[in-house]
Each structure stands twice: as structure tokens, then as C-alpha cells.
């Protein structure tokens, strides 16, 4: 390992994204999904370059909906969650982990299993392959260099059957260079697709604190979040409770699935003014000096995530 995965608020060269293309996932909401993805891309492009990967048949449509500051690259992908299928940069080079569509839930994934290496080749950046299956949304880097993750996801046998906790932890330390691994327990009850990704419940901040999803005692997530709070505090973190979670029918939107880019934080919005403003205020306090930009994201939540799930940062080469 020749580098380290930096916290998300350190400098980016660009952001990579993928265009919504899996009809089985979005159904009759695919057009609104594309509107929201374009909104996220255009918001980020005001602060740093964006590379949008689109299946060749959809590249023209993507180009028409995106600002001129977004580059469109026609390339084969199966799905549009580049946080999870894309490369993870540790300096000049990237690590390309295995990808199996969140434990084999959403076939086919042949193109997504190779997109990390292909995008590195396109950008002219070196990369190495890890045998471990890992999605980028399952890990977060804190200000002290700790890597935060959940047992529910990384220890799930549908990712790396036969791998022990110790082997998984060693691979994370060797490949990504964190100072330690901090294990939370479970993610959101509603987060069945990813088996508890940490980026739905937790957001490290540059001041050293960690934003954590919180809820009332009558919420089914309360026991999980109380245990995660206990573990974070035991690890020495100052925990800031984020007591906003948007629900609309069967859709649940996590405000913690925000994306930190150069000079800004891109925060999902549910169209619920009181909740939306409370979330924006939390980010203004946690990320002083950065512009906090709200973007509609309830359809992205229907698909299973938010602005963080659909973006992956590329750090500058030294």
C-alpha cells in the first residue's frame, strides 16, 4: 500500500457518477431519477469537474440534461451507483475492489464489476485489484484517519464467504491505509438492499466529530443507533446526533447520505421544508466555510440511496 484513502473533504480532482439505466430498478420513476441525478451532477460541477459515465445509447440524453461543466463518457455500466462500483483512490493510484451487486441481489453486474478499472484507465491513473468484495458506501474515513464501517455489511457472508473479521480488517488496513477500523453494528432497518451501509447512518466531519443518525425511542432504528452511538463514543469520537429522517410511504431518505466536494456539501432534500432546513443547519455547523447546497433526492432514495451513493471522488495525483 503506497497511499491512504483521505477523508472526503480533502481536495478532489473530480467526481465520477453513472447515469440511471436499470429499468427494473426505477420503473416508471426512471425519468425523475435522471432529473435528480442531473441535479446532483450540475450542483457538484459548480465546484469541481464531474465525469458522468453513461451507457452509449443514453449518452446523448445525459448530455442534454447536464451542464457544459460535466463531461459525459459513453461506457458500459449495469447500474448507476458509482460510490459502490467505482475505484477508491489512495493517492495517485486506486484500489479496485470486487463488486457483486450487494451480495448478488441485482443481476447482471458484469459491466459494473469492471467499471472501476476501466474508469482508471480512461483517466490515466494506475490501479490495483483487491480480492475482497467491498462497496465504497460501506466505509467512511474520519478526521483522525479511522475507517468506520458496520458489521452488518462487511461481515455478511454474501460478500466475502469464508473471510474472518481479522482478514477483512487487515485488507482494509493494508489497501486503504487507515489508522484503525472502528466497527459499528447495524445500519438502518429500511436499508435492506445494501445490508447496512455506513453512509446511510454516519458522516464524519472535519472538526473530528461524527454525525450519527438518531430517532425517537418508538422508532425501530432506535436500538441500532443507540448501540452505534455507544461504539463511536467508546472509540473516542464526539457524536453529533442528526435527528432528521424523511419518510414518504415506503421510501426512506437519509439526510446523512450527503456528498462533500471542493468547497461545498451536497445535501439531499425530501421536499419537507421543516426537515430539510433542519438538515441543512446541521451541515452548516459541521462544515463551516463550505457552501451547503440542497438538492431534491427523494427519487434517488426510492432507488436505495442519496447523493453520496451516486458519487465517487477522485483525489489529485501527488
Q: Is the pTM of this model over 0.95?
A: yes
Report residue 226 CA to chain centroid gap.
22
Q: 228 and 196 in contact (C-beta within 8 Å)?
A: no
What lies within 8 Å, CB to CB, of 166 at 6+ separation is: none
Does residue 37 have a cis peptide bond before it, meaning omega lies within 30 degrees of 0?
Answer: no
Q: Give the residue-averaged pLDDT of 3-7.
A: 96
C-beta pairs of 102-108 under 8 Å, 24+ apart in sequence: 102/135, 102/193, 102/194, 102/195, 103/156, 103/158, 103/159, 103/195, 104/158, 105/193, 106/22, 106/25, 106/79, 106/193, 108/78
CATH of 14-314, one of 1.10.10.10, 3.30.70.1380, 3.75.10.10, 3.40.50.10860: 3.75.10.10
The per-residue pLDDT for 50 is 98
Q: For residue range 87-126, what is the model confidence (pLDDT) as tens digits?
A: 999 999 999 999 999 999 999 999 999 999 999 999 999 9
What whole-number distance in Å separates Cα of residue 175 and Cα of residue 184? 20
Instruction: Annotate 287-304 with b (16+ C-beta within 10 A) or e (fewer).
Output: beebebbbbbbbbbbbbb
Q: For residue range 157-173, what is the model confidence (pLDDT) as tens digits?
A: 999 999 999 999 999 99
User: Does 1 score more than 60 pLDDT?
Assistant: no
Q: Give the residue-averaged pLDDT of 280-286.
A: 98
Rounded to the nearest integer, the mean pLDDT of the chain is 97
**Is 242 known to be catalytic?**
no
Q: 33 and 303 in contact (C-beta within 8 Å)?
A: yes
The per-residue pLDDT for 2 is 59
C-alpha cell at 2: 503506497
Q: For residue range 17-73, what is the model confidence (pLDDT) as tens digits?
A: 999 999 999 999 999 999 999 999 999 999 999 999 999 999 999 999 999 999 999
The per-residue pLDDT for 250 is 86
Catalytic residue among 21, 202, 261, 309: 309
What whole-number distance in Å separates Cα of residue 117 and Cα of residue 47? 26
Amino acid at each position: 500500500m503506497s497511499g491512504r484513502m483521505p477523508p472526503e473533504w480533502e481536495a478532489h480532482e473530480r467526481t465520477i457518477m453513472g447515469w440511471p439505466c436499470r429499468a427494473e430498478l426505477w420503473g416508471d420513476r426512471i425519468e425523475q431519477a435522471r432529473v435528480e441525478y442531473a441535479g446532483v451532477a450540475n450542483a457538484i460541477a459548480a465546484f469541481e469537474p464531474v465525469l458522468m459515465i453513461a451507457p452509449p445509447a443514453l449518452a446523448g440524453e445525459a448530455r442534454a440534461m447536464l451542464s457544459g461543466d460535466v463531461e459525459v463518457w459513453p461506457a458500459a455500466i449495469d447500474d448507476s451507483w458509482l460510490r459502490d462500483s467505482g475505484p477508491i483512490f489512495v493517492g495517485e493510484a486506486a484500489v479496485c475492489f470486487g463488486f457483486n451487486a450487494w451480495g448478488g441481489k441485482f443481476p447482471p453486474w458484469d459491466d459494473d464489476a469492471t467499471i472501476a478499472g476501466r474508469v482508471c484507465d480512461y483517466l490515466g491513473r494506475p490501479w490495483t485489484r483487491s480480492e475482497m468484495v467491498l462497496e465504497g458506501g460501506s466505509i467512511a474515513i474520519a478526521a483522525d484517519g479511522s475507517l468506520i464501517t458496520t458489521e452488518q455489511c462487511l461481515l455478511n457472508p454474501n460478500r466475502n464467504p469464508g473471510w474472518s473479521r481479522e482478514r477483512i480488517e487487515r485488507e482494509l488496513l493494508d489497501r486503504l491505509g487507515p489508522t484503525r477500523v472502528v466497527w459499528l453494528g447495524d445500519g438502518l432497518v429500511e436499508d435492506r438492499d445494501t445490508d447496512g451501509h455506513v453512509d446511510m447512518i454516519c458522516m464524519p466531519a472535519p472538526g473530528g466529530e461524527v454525525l450519527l443518525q438518531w430517532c425517537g425511542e418508538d422508532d425501530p432504528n432506535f436500538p441500532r443507533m443507540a448501540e452505534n452511538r455507544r461504539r463511536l463514543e467508546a472509540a473516542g469520537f464526539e457524536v453529533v446526533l442528526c435527528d432528521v429522517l424523511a419518510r414518504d410511504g415506503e421510501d426512506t431518505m437519509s439526510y446523512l447520505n450527503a456528498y462533500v466536494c471542493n468547497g461545498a456539501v451536497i445535501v439531499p432534500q425530501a421536499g419537507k421544508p421543516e426537515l430539510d432546513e433542519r438538515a441543512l443547519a446541521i451541515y452548516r455547523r459541521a462544515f463551516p466555510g463550505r457552501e451547503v447546497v440542497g438538492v431534491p433526492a427523494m427519487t434517488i432514495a426510492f432507488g436505495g440511496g442519496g447523493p453520496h451513493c451516486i458519487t465517487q471522488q477522485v483525489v489529485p495525483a501527488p
